[in-house]
Amino acid sequence: MFVVCKRLAVLIITTVLATTASATQYQMREIKSHGAISGKVLLGNAIVESETIPITKDHESCGTGTRTMEWVRASGDALLDVVVYLDKVEAGKPFLKEAEAIVVDQKNCRFTPYLQVMANGGEIKVLNTDPVLHNVRAFELFPTANNRTMRRTIFNVSLPDFETYARKVSLRRGRALKLECSAHSTMHAWVFLARNPYYAVVDKNGAFTITDVPPGTYTVKSWHGRLGEQELTVEVKANVYTEVTFSY
């Protein structure tokens, strides 16, 4: 009797957890009226940051001398490599097909592109088009209670020349994957994992637009792999472009 009750309790708990998990997933629904959020992300008080890294091996693929990693890039007063997104949107327009599966290429000892957006739970495919061995490490980065950044390994695989690695990824706490190569210190990239399709990557002028937003009040956030996040509260009205500005 005790065993039966125990199994029944486990079944109930499992069912509740599954129901809760499915209820928190993004749902697609028809949007009868919508507005948009547009604006710009400014460099503000942040400082352009770069690092010169020596190239020590595999010179035919990686080149010679040094390579400059631009950790914080700007164009005039605009901050680049930023994703702007709406937080905790439960339903609305569908994800773009291109966000469901992305490709990262390892070419000339670089991850290309440097920044991409993928739907959380989508598939990432990493190619090695170099005739050398690469090692792909993907970390989930998330803040702790004392404002430190923790790294949780999502995958860590060796990728021989001209091989491919693919898998689906769902993050629990962090917003993005940080990609590195253990064999080549010059290789870095970011993949932002979106919980909903209401996001935009800033253009070369730091500008962005998020469209088809149902009327309502939202928390809109800007994310940068090096500089972290900022947030604003925005009210969206039907057929209106709401303007916002972030400044780091």
Q: Note the pLDDT of residue 143.
A: 80
Q: Is residue 124 part of a domain?
A: yes
> In the chain, how many H helices and how many E strands?
2, 22
pTM for the structure as a whole:
0.87
Distance separating alpha carbons of residues 153 and 4, to the nearest angstrom:
38
Which residues touch 113 (CB under 8 Å, ≥6 apart)? 104, 189
Query: Greater confidence, 4 or 166?
Result: 166
Per-residue confidence at 144, pLDDT binned at 50, 70, 90?
confident
Q: Is residue 20 part of a domain?
A: no
65: CATH: 2.60.40.420
Average pLDDT for the chain: 90
Q: Is residue 53 part of a domain?
A: yes
Per-residue confidence at 10, pLDDT binned at 50, 70, 90?
very low
User: Shortest CA distance to 189 belongs to which of 103, 96, 61?
Assistant: 103
Q: Tell me the residue type at 243.
A: E
What integer is the mean pLDDT of 59-67? 97
pLDDT at 3 over 60: no
Reported as a single tens digit per residue, the pLDDT across 177-229 is 999 999 999 999 999 999 999 999 999 999 999 999 999 999 999 999 999 99
Q: Is residue 14 part of a domain?
A: no
Q: Is residue 39 part of a domain?
A: yes
pLDDT at 61 over 90: yes
Q: How many domains, the chain?
A: 1
Per-residue confidence at 6, pLDDT binned at 50, 70, 90?
very low
Neighbour count for residue 106 (Cβ, 10 Å): 25
Reported as a single tens digit per residue, the pLDDT across 72-113 is 999 999 999 999 999 999 999 999 999 999 999 999 999 999
Q: Is residue 118 part of a domain?
A: yes
- Residues spanned by the domain of 220: 26-247
